[in-house]
Structure 1
Amino acid sequence: MHNKHSFFSASETSIATTSVPQPQAPLSAAAAAANPLDIEVSWACHLDEVREAQRLRHQIFAGEMGAQLQTSLEGHDVDGFDDYCEHLLVRQGQSKQVIGTYRLLTPAQALRAGRTYSDGEFDLSAIDALRPRMVELGRSCVHPDFRQGGVIMALWGALASFMLRNKLDVMMGCASIPMWHNGIVSGDAAASIWRQLRAKGQISQEYSVVPHLPLPLEQLNDQVDVEPPALIKGYLRVGTEVIGAPAWDPDFNTADLPMLMQLDRLPPRYRKHFLG
C-alpha cells in the first residue's frame, strides 16, 4: 500500500476556500488495469479536495445508484454534515484523480453538528455510552474501475491509523443495499440478508438500535435467497457487528444495515495488519 498520510483531529482541521478545479474525465478500465496498486492516500485539507470527493460521490450515488440527492451544488453530493467531517481520499497515482473516499464524523464534531447522520435513520440510544469514543463512517465509495482489494485496504489502513492517533476505538456506520441487488428489488434482498445474518447469530446481542423508518420485513418475499454482498462479508470478517434491523432510506433508495466495529475486537490477523 502506497500512502501519504496527513492526520489531524477535528479541532485541528481548517478547510480553506480555494478555486474549484474542473471535473476530470472518468478513468478507463485500461488505465486502472495498468497499475492497480499505484495509489495514494491523504486527508482533505482544502475545499477543492472536498469537492473532488463530492464529485465522485455524486457519480456513484446519483449516476450509478440512482439516488435522489438534495445537493446545493450541481454534479456534487453535498449535505449539511460535510463541513463537520474529515474526508479521506484515495488517488490514482499517475492521474491524481480521486478514486475512493470515506468521510468521518468525530465525537467532537458530532456534538457541533448536533447529531450523527445515522441518528436520522435510527434511534441510537442503545450505543449512547460509546459516543465519546465513536467515529461515524459514511459516504464511502470507490470508482468502478478500482473496486479491488488495494483501494479498500488503503482506506481501512488509513482509518485505523486515524483512530489510534486520535484515541478513538469505535466505528459506526451503515452498509447500504442498493435498490437492485443482483437483479432483485432491494427490500427483498435486504430481508433475505437480514434473515441469514440472524439465523447465523451475527446480530449483536449487546447492542440493538431501532430504525425510524423500518424496512417492512414481514411483508417482503421470504422465498428470496440472496448472498450477502462482499462488503458486508468483509465487515463481518473483521469483527464488525450488525446492531439492528435495516432502515429504508428513500433518498438513496437503499436498505441500510447499522454496523458497529470496536477495535479491541478485531481478530488477531487483522489487528496485526491494521494496528501494527
Structure 2
Amino acid sequence: MTRRSTPPRLPAPFSRGGFTVRFAGDTDDQHRAQELRHLCFIDAAGRPAKPGARDADRFDPLCDHVLVEAAGRLVCTFRLMPYANGAEARGGYTAGHYDLRALADHPGPMVELGRFCIAPGGEGADLLRVAWGMVAAYVDSIDAALLFGCSSFAGTDPQPYGAAFDLLAARHLAPVPWRVGRGARPAVAFADSAAPVTDHRQALGQVPPLLRSYLTMGGWVSDHAVIDHEMNTLHVFTGLQISAIPPARARALRAIAAEAGAG
C-alpha cells in the first residue's frame, strides 16, 4: 500500500513527569525504535541477536514513530498509521493477521497503533499516561473515529492466559457489526481457553497494561487470539471508538499534551 498523499500534521513534542514524548525525526531515531522493538519482542523469545539488531518491516516507512524518552534513554516506542477509512485499513499490518472486512463500512478516518513496547524496567502508569497523551493528540489531528491494532500477550503459549481470555469473551467482545474475522495465521478461540473466570482480579492481572488501558476506555477485542511466532506473542485485535471514550477520560488524555506544551 502507499501512504496517503496528505499525511497528518504531527503533534508537537512535549515533556511531562520526567518523560519527553516526540515523533522520530530522522533515520537514526527510527533505528533506535526498531532496536528497542527487537529487544522487547525478538530477544525476549531467547533468539540470539547481534548488537544493534533491529525489528523492521515494510510498513515502517509508512508509519509515524513515537519515542518516549527519560533522561535521553528510549523507554517506550510505538508507531501510528492513519487511514482514510476502513476499506483502506485492509491494506495495513493488522489486516495481515485478521480479516478486517467487517470494518469496511466503519465511518470516518482510522488510526492503527502498532509495535507498542516498553523497555525492561520502564513499566508504570505515568509512562502509559504520557504515551496515551500523544496518541490522543495524533487521533485528534486527523479527527479519527476509530483507533485499532494488535494488543500482545507475552509468548505464544495460551495456557497462562485462560482467565484473561474468558474475561475478554464475557465482557469485552467487539460489537457484532465491527467484529473482525480470522485471518490465515493460527489462532486460539476464546471458547477454547481455560475454565470460566472465578477471580476477576486474577483475570485482569493477566491482561497486558496496554490492553487494560483500551478496555478502561471502552475498547473491545476479537473473539480469538492470533499466535504470532515471528514476534513471540499472542495478540488480540483491539478497537476503540473515539466517541465511546468517557468524556472525563477523553478530556484528561487531551490535556496531557496540551498542558505540557503550554508549560
Same fold (TM over 0.5): yes
Cα deviations by residue, 1:225-257 (Å, 9 ceiling, x for unpaired): 762325232221111111332122121232211
1:218 to partner: Cα distance: 5.8
How far, CA to CA, are the matches of 2:197 and 2:89 in structure 1? 40
1:187 aligns with 2:158: yes
The answer to whether the 8 A contact 1:84-1:110 is kept is no
| Residue of structure 2 equivalent to 1:269 | 248
1:211 aligns with 2:168: no
| Residue of structure 2 equivalent to 1:39 | 19
The answer to whether the 8 A contact 1:39-1:90 is kept is yes
Bigger CA drift: 260-269 or 227-236?
Answer: 227-236
**1:115 aligned to which of 76, 84, 91:** 91
The answer to whether the 8 A contact 2:68-2:77 is kept is yes
Q: 1:250 to 1:230 in 2, by over 3 A?
A: closer
How far, CA to CA, are the matches of 1:123 and 1:68 in structure 2? 33
Helix, strand or coil for the counterpart of 2:106?
A: helix
- Spell out the pairing of 1:162-241 with structure 2 (5 A cutoff): 162-179=138-155, 186-199=157-170, 201-206=171-176, 207-212=178-183, 213-215=186-188, 221-222=194-195, 227-228=203-204, 229-231=207-209, 232-241=211-220
Overall identity of the aligned pairs, in %:
24
Q: 1:67 to 1:82 in 2, by over 3 A?
A: farther
| Residue of structure 2 equivalent to 1:139 | 115
Q: 1:78 to 1:113 in 2, by over 3 A?
A: farther
Instruction: Give 5+ residue unaligned stretches, structure 2.
Output: 1-5, 11-15, 256-263
More relative contact order, 1 or 2 (CA 8 Å, 6+ apart): 2
How far, CA to CA, are the matches of 1:105 and 1:245 in structure 2? 23
**Under a length normalisation based on structure 1, what TM-score does the superposition of the two structures give?**
0.74
How far, CA to CA, are the matches of 1:50 and 1:110 in structure 2? 27
| Residue of structure 1 equivalent to 2:62 | 84
RMSD: 3.2
Amino acid at match of 1:203: L
Helix, strand or coil for the counterpart of 2:30?
A: helix
Paired residues, what number? 236
- Structure (1/2) with the larger strand percentage: 2
| Residue of structure 2 equivalent to 1:243 | 222
1:12 to partner: Cα distance: 6.4
| Residue of structure 2 equivalent to 1:61 | 41
Cα deviations by residue, 1:190-209 (Å, 9 ceiling, x for unpaired): 4432222222x321233211
Instruction: Give 5+ residue unaligned stretches, structure 1.
Output: 1-8, 14-35, 180-184
Q: 1:88 to 1:156 in 2, by over 3 A?
A: same
**Under a length normalisation based on structure 2, what TM-score does the superposition of the two structures give?**
0.78
Q: 1:11 to 1:39 in 2, by over 3 A?
A: closer
